[in-house]
């Protein structure tokens, strides 16, 4: 089971906020966190320098234009202060330790699509049951379940589709991403994720914990709405398209409708 204090540091590293524990109501939900992480990547792709989010104010994106090998916990938590109640944010009953699991040729399905389990990672489950108006089928294993996707830091179109160097190298955004999509009308504009945990790991955030002094990689494990997902020329890259001229509210609504988180994945470096 991941250390709850380290999980808070992981949330800080992903979001750029200073995430602290509280015994009261959580300031942000798991859905808010995936919104913030995904929108920061999208806004970066658009060449913007800040993201405005309700209850947080303006989040600076300048730190996202470079990816140091590992952020200290203090550096990762330099943004707005956010309080969450671990008891109502995490769902320990569904934690799962994949660190010693090797699936080999075993095959798994979610939403009738291959599910590559996050072998080698430790998953802290997020409390998302009964949190959506359409029930819990999206999180199941049946035909109405949504496929699994992973979201790491620096996952924008040009990095994943056209950038062969290190994630810290400065890529060119926009047009090159557009050229790599099967559906030309999308123009590559939106939020990227991958069904392959190994692909997500290439672009994930790394932070150094103040709790135990160790370095960790962190990735969000999500479900993605099949109807809102565009497949790219690379089989292991998916796009949720954000239409041109979308307002901040509209872009947030697209992400919230399309991507739902259910796990925080940690891997010791």
The three-state secondary structure class of 31 is helix
Provide the pLDDT confidence category of residue 174 given band limits of 50, 70 and 90: very low
Read off the pTM. 0.85
What is the per-residue pLDDT across 54-86, written as a single tens digit (0 to 9) for each? Answer: 878 777 765 544 444 455 544 455 678 999 999
Nearest to 125 by CA among 267, 268, 261: 261
CB–CB of 210/73 below 8 Å?
yes
Residues near 259 by beta carbon (within 8 Å), at least 6 away in sequence: 34, 38, 149, 151, 191, 193, 222, 223, 224, 225, 240
Backbone angles phi, psi at 87, to 5 degrees: -65, -35
pLDDT at 228: 93
Please check the confidence at residue 132 and state whether its pLDDT lies above 70.
yes
Give CA 55 to chain center in angstroms.
20
Provide the pLDDT confidence category of residue 175 given band limits of 50, 70 and 90: very low
CB–CB of 85/22 below 8 Å?
yes
What's the rounded mean pLDDT across residues 128-156?
Answer: 91
CB–CB of 205/152 below 8 Å?
yes
What's the rounded mean pLDDT across residues 170-184?
Answer: 41
What is the per-residue pLDDT across 231-269, written as a single tens digit (0 to 9) for each? Answer: 776 678 898 988 888 888 899 999 999 999 999 999 999
**Averaged confidence pLDDT in the chain:** 82
């Amino acid at each position: 089971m991941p250390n709850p204090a380290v999980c808070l540091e992981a949330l800080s590293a992903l979001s750029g906020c200073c995430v602290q524990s509280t015994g009261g109501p959580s300031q942000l939900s798991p859905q808010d966190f995936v919104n913030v992480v995904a929108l920061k990547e999208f806004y970066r792709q658009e060449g913007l320098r800040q993201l405005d989010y309700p209850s947080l104010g303006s989040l600076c994106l300048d730190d996202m234009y470079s990816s140091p090998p590992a952020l200290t916990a203090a550096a990762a938590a330099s943004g707005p202060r956010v309080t969450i109640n671990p008891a109502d944010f995490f769902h320990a009953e569904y934690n799962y330790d994949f660190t010693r699991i090797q699936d080999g040729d075993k095959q798994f399905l979610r939403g009738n699509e291959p599910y590559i389990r996050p072998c080698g990672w430790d998953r802290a489950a997020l409390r998302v049951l009964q949190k959506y108006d359409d029930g819990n089928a999206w999180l199941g294993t049946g035909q109405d379940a949504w496929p699994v996707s992973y979201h790491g830091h620096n996952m924008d179109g040009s990095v994943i589709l056209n950038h062969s160097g290190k994630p810290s190298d400065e890529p060119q955004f926009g047009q090159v991403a557009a050229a790599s999509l099967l559906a030309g009308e999308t123009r590559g504009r939106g939020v990227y994720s991958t069904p392959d945990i190994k692909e997500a790991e290439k672009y994930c955030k790394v932070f150094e914990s103040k709790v135990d002094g160790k370095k960790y990689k962190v990735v969000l494990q999500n479900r993605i709405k099949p109807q809102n997902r565009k497949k790219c020329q690379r089989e292991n890259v998916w796009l949720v398209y954000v239409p041109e001229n979308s307002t901040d509210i509209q872009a947030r609504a697209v992400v919230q409708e399309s991507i739902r988180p259910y796990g925080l994945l940690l891997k010791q470096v």
